[in-house]
Structure 1
Amino acid sequence: MKKFGQFLLVSALSAALLAGCGGSKKAESSTAGSSEAKTESTVAGSQKLKVVTTIFPEYDWAKAVLGDKAENAELTLLLKNGVDLHSFQPSAEDIAKISEADLFIYVGGESDGWVDDALKEAKNKNMKVINLMETLGDKAKEEEMKEGMQESEDEHDHDHGKEVSTFEDSEVKDRTLADWKGDWQSAYPLAKSGALDAAFKEKAEKTGKMTAEEYKAYYTKGYETDIAKINIDGDTISFTDESGKTVKSPYKYVGTYIQNWSTGTKAAMYRFEAEDKNSGAPIYVEFNDHMIEPATAEHFHIRFSNESFDAIKDPENSWPTFYPAALTGEEVADELAGHDHHEETEYDEHVWLSLKNAELYVNKIAEDLSALDTANAESYKKNAEAYNKELSELDTQYADVVKNATNKYLLFGDRFPFRYLVDDYGLDYSAAFVGCSADTEASFETVRFLADKVDEKKLGSILVIENSDQKIANTIQQNTKEKNQKILVLDSMQSVTEKNMADGETYLGVMKKNLEVLKQALQ
């Protein structure tokens, strides 16, 4: 699915470039001068400053800084139709607007992976760019996995990795054995020997769901198999058991099976049948590696039977797992723990939900607009100062509400994009998912944990973000003792629409509404 998104981006870039090739060479050279030349011609002449923003808070901040000089600018918001930042893909028109922008403002988190390619193709080489994450610098916070949160990593838990838990059946694509080619080793002897103990310890510390010993017992049972090695070469699979005996057969692909798990999620099983049924090799074999389309596997789960696919027993409790044979036990433990050496630190990208951060960004926008339009620099500076005064006053109101609250704990039956906000005021929280999670179904364990927290903290409310179907929150509520908690909505401004803006919605307005919600939640 990432490959498809990349294809769309490349197509959009190509279309944007073609659309931009219609001008004359003279016109092109007139925009290729220094940034100072650009500054003088932008406002003094008929050409307007072109400011492009990705999300609503950036747009509203820029609008506030421009103030009564907004007539000198063409201000564009890309995510204006209720599209969530995490699923946004730019159109050819979006790419073209960015390409010619004088100032481009974007978040700079994982969801903005498409921006680098867009900027490489920009026509305006003197463009000023504000990356919110970079502007925040070392104040950016790593994504936080709190106790009780639903795992979104490639932790087994019945094959419910992030890639396989939310797909539509129609999205599953056929695959060949080439996706699993090579030499593989069973994780079972590694688990028994203690080679994976470090991973089990890390999981225990990270999730709080089981002890390290319980994780070891769980995985050892799931990994159990008498097959020690597997080799896949072309259409042939070779199986070597613990004694060193090898059997093999060519296999033919017979299709996929969608496995529905007891927790409400599912996985795609890729099935192959032995062509030599007298070879001693398993006749009916199915692979699962958390993917639903052609991709090179990093590890896989395999199950088999000599009777039929339907005879494969207890798939929720038996999932023999194989890793590349070249990996050491320590490297397999790293993979299992979910932090291989190629993985970058993931930062929480919801930086706009801190009023303190907003002041920093408003100053940066004023600075860059002033550099682009020196004639109105003093106006931009004054507008920023006036707006930041309002931000500071609202920040003080938030601090006072928290200071006077009897409860300083929030519980979200949803994903949680408010870490910057709660950290600003020393609040604690629990949530079903991290802020960027794509998951929509919470496990029984997560629901039970959150319901118990509601009872333990004697909470009168459960929070969700805007546009939530409130299904998880309602399930949590029904599993509490009182079953009478209010469901409150805290707005993260991730899906603002043109209608919202036409109705007068502003960043400050939303944050003021959120303060009123916070007052109720902290009672």
Structure 2
Amino acid sequence: MKKVLSCLLAVLLLSLPLSACGRQAPSTGGQAQQTSGPAPSGNDKKISIVATTFPQYDWVRQILGEEGKDVELTLLLDDGVDLHSYQPTMEDIAKISNCDMFLYVGGESDAWVDDALASATNKDMIVISLLEVLGDQAKEEEIVEGMEHTHEHGHEEILPQDIHDRSLSDWKGSWTTIEKTLESGELDDYIADQALENGVDFDAQKSVYAQRWKSNFAALTIADTSIDFGSASADYKYIGYKLVESDQGDSVWYGFEAENTVGDAPRYVAFSDHGAGETHDHEDDHDELAHYHMRYGNESFEALTAAEDWSPTFFSSDAEGSEISEAMAGHGHDDEGELDEHVWLSLKNAQAICTYLSGKLGSLDSQNSAAYTANAKAYNAELAGLDAAYQSAVDAAPCNVLLFGDRFPFRYLVDDYGLEYYAAFSGCSAETEASFETIVFLANKANELKLHDLMVIETSDQSIAKTIIENTQDKNQGILVMDSMQSVTAKDVSSGTTYLSVMENNLAVLKQALA
């Protein structure tokens, strides 16, 4: 996508007239624009401001007030497409390239922005990222109990043409099961982190790992063609590999069949260490401590590769428990989580951002700087009043839990007022179908909490919420809609929709949900 945007920008910028920076008449196309007063004469030009999302656009509009007569304000996402699905058009790129101020959220959905800014004509542009303005107040995307969650294991995609046969000697050495470290408590910190990420309690997460890593063998010694299991041993011949694809990432399992056995050695064993053969080296595998997964049984190699959530795991016998714990903590995870982009759904964030915006607008238009400061102060008073009304409503409510049969972009809002919530998906999730487990969990929560209403966001088709209701005891809950302002259109703006009006409507819905 970056290469495509760069090429589009190159073609586009060559075709733009040098006078394009703010001198053109306001567009009569679909994008929402505010242009007040007569156009300046002579060499003066209108100040051009571009905002990607509606909340930014409306905040600037309120701060500009009547003094913004020489400002052309453009909302890019004005056709109902939300932030997570948006890709800029050539016209959008042109507007950004020549504008004096550009506002965007700054999360992963805005990955296209870097290329747009790198090729911008106006190198003096004021660029404002809402996440950067908030700094440490920005929150990571949250996964709560019961929420649909695809775990990013971090293993690279393995292509069939990259897979090569391997010999048993690739796993040569002395190995000890990870169960010993699990039982010692040295993995407790890792388990606690995973429990938090997966939205379950510590004991439940530990039970998952105990089952996943369960093995009949405490230690193994592997030679070139044989395995000593302690109480049994066998020679093994290689019988092939199988590529297994899953949501946790691709893996290749290598199968071996016993030829000569002593004792109760398994007939089949299968190994996976996320390598594809040829030049694979345990010691160099992503700089991780050497380890692998081994399944075993007497039915068939195919049965081993089809096993679900069972992967006995072995580390080098000389590895300390602390080393294993450290290796697991860094295994397949990014250092930082994805930031929750829906910062505008906090009235407290809105006040902080508006104060910042008024200063930047004043630096862009010093003649009206005092007016912008005054406008922002008056607007923040309205935001603070609504913020207080939210807190009063929550304090007076008999319930403090929301249940969304949908994506949940309201984390900033619920955190502001100490509310709890359950939801099918996180706010930035691209998922559209909830699993049976998620449906049942949310239905049981609705029963347990005796909730009379479920929630969705404005773009929902309500199908998941309806399915949850069908699985509750009473099957008569209502469905309430909270507006996350991710689908505001130019028509809505023309009809008088404002940030405050949406948040006031949301307060009315919240009161009903918590009643």
| Cα deviation, residue 59, structure 1 | 1.4
The amino acid of 1:222's aligned partner reads: R
- SS in structure 2 opposite 1:397? helix
Pair 1:11 & 2:4 matched: yes
Pair 1:177 & 2:163 matched: yes
| Cα deviation, residue 467, structure 1 | 1.5
Q: 1:57 maps to which residue?
A: 55
| Cα deviation, residue 276, structure 1 | 12
- SS in structure 2 opposite 1:86? coil
Alpha-carbon distance change, 486 to 176 in structure 1, aligned in 2, over 3 angstroms: same
Pair 1:456 & 2:444 matched: no
- Any conservation in 2 of the 1:9–1:90 contact (CA below 8 Å)? no
**TM value normalised by structure 1:** 0.72
Point out the structure with max Rg over C-alpha: 2
The amino acid of 1:138's aligned partner reads: D
RMSD over aligned Cα atoms: 4.9
The amino acid of 1:65's aligned partner reads: I
Distance 2:430 2:423 in 1: 14
Alpha-carbon distance change, 445 to 103 in structure 1, aligned in 2, over 3 angstroms: same
Alpha-carbon distance change, 241 to 377 in structure 1, aligned in 2, over 3 angstroms: farther
- SS in structure 1 opposite 2:359? helix
| Cα deviation, residue 248, structure 1 | 7.3
- Any conservation in 2 of the 1:238–1:249 contact (CA below 8 Å)? no
- Any conservation in 2 of the 1:272–1:284 contact (CA below 8 Å)? no
Q: Structure 2 matches for 1:7-406, cutoff 5 A?
A: 8-21=1-14, 45-68=43-66, 71-154=69-152, 176-177=162-163, 189-194=177-182, 196-204=187-195, 207=198, 209=200, 211-212=202-203, 215-223=205-213, 311-312=303-304, 315-319=307-311, 330=322, 333=325, 336=328, 343-406=335-398
**Which 5+ residue runs of structure 2 have no aligned equivalent?**
24-38, 262-266, 275-284
Distance 1:470 1:274 in 2: 47
Deviations 1:300-336 (A, max 9, x none): 9787999988655752243456899999765664565
Distance 1:380 1:496 in 2: 25
Q: 1:262 maps to which residue?
A: none
| Cα deviation, residue 490, structure 1 | 0.9
Deviations 1:267-324 (A, max 9, x none): 88677898999999x99989897xxxxxx99999787999988655752243456899
- SS in structure 1 opposite 2:73? strand
- Any conservation in 2 of the 1:140–1:348 contact (CA below 8 Å)? yes
Alpha-carbon distance change, 328 to 72 in structure 1, aligned in 2, over 3 angstroms: farther
- Any conservation in 2 of the 1:175–1:270 contact (CA below 8 Å)? no
Distance 1:278 1:482 in 2: 61
- Any conservation in 1 of the 2:393–2:511 contact (CA below 8 Å)? yes
| Cα deviation, residue 10, structure 1 | 2.4
**Which 5+ residue runs of structure 1 have no aligned equivalent?**
1-7, 32-40, 155-160, 165-170, 232-236, 260-265, 290-295
- Any conservation in 2 of the 1:464–1:487 contact (CA below 8 Å)? yes
The amino acid of 2:51's aligned partner reads: T
Q: 2:280 maps to which residue?
A: none
Q: 1:38 maps to which residue?
A: none
Alpha-carbon distance change, 325 to 388 in structure 1, aligned in 2, over 3 angstroms: farther
Tell me which of 414, 424, 428 is aligned to 2:416.
424
- Any conservation in 1 of the 2:9–2:93 contact (CA below 8 Å)? yes
Deviations 1:433-452 (A, max 9, x none): 33223333444444444333
The amino acid of 1:423's aligned partner reads: D
| Cα deviation, residue 471, structure 1 | 3.2
Pair 1:517 & 2:515 matched: no
Q: 2:30 maps to which residue?
A: none
- Any conservation in 2 of the 1:285–1:305 contact (CA below 8 Å)? no
Comparing 301-310 with 421-430, which one deviates more in the overlay?
301-310
Q: 2:478 maps to which residue?
A: 486
- Any conservation in 2 of the 1:80–1:495 contact (CA below 8 Å)? yes
Distance 2:408 2:174 in 1: 37
The amino acid of 1:203's aligned partner reads: Q
- SS in structure 2 opposite 1:145? coil
- Any conservation in 2 of the 1:269–1:287 contact (CA below 8 Å)? no
The amino acid of 1:78's aligned partner reads: L
- Any conservation in 2 of the 1:287–1:300 contact (CA below 8 Å)? yes
The amino acid of 1:200's aligned partner reads: I
- SS in structure 1 opposite 2:177? helix
- SS in structure 2 opposite 1:85? coil
Distance 1:267 1:118 in 2: 33
Alpha-carbon distance change, 400 to 258 in structure 1, aligned in 2, over 3 angstroms: same
Alpha-carbon distance change, 407 to 9 in structure 1, aligned in 2, over 3 angstroms: same
Distance 2:137 2:122 in 1: 30
Q: 2:282 maps to which residue?
A: none
Alpha-carbon distance change, 64 to 216 in structure 1, aligned in 2, over 3 angstroms: closer
**TM value normalised by structure 2:** 0.72
- SS in structure 1 opposite 2:422? strand
Distance 1:86 1:323 in 2: 41
Alpha-carbon distance change, 176 to 424 in structure 1, aligned in 2, over 3 angstroms: same
Alpha-carbon distance change, 92 to 402 in structure 1, aligned in 2, over 3 angstroms: same
The amino acid of 2:162's aligned partner reads: T
Comparing 391-400 with 196-205, which one deviates more in the overlay?
196-205
- Any conservation in 1 of the 2:455–2:481 contact (CA below 8 Å)? yes
| Cα deviation, residue 105, structure 1 | 0.7
Alpha-carbon distance change, 271 to 342 in structure 1, aligned in 2, over 3 angstroms: closer
Deviations 1:150-193 (A, max 9, x none): 34434xxxxxx6999xxxxxx99766228x99977999812344
- Any conservation in 2 of the 1:43–1:72 contact (CA below 8 Å)? no
The amino acid of 2:415's aligned partner reads: D
Pair 1:409 & 2:401 matched: yes
Q: 1:498 maps to which residue?
A: 490
| Cα deviation, residue 416, structure 1 | 1.9
Alpha-carbon distance change, 108 to 84 in structure 1, aligned in 2, over 3 angstroms: same
Q: 1:35 maps to which residue?
A: none
| Cα deviation, residue 514, structure 1 | 0.8
Q: 2:458 maps to which residue?
A: 466
Distance 1:105 1:279 in 2: 70
The amino acid of 1:52's aligned partner reads: V
Q: 2:281 maps to which residue?
A: none
The amino acid of 1:478's aligned partner reads: E
Task: Number of aligned residue pairs: give it.
Answer: 472
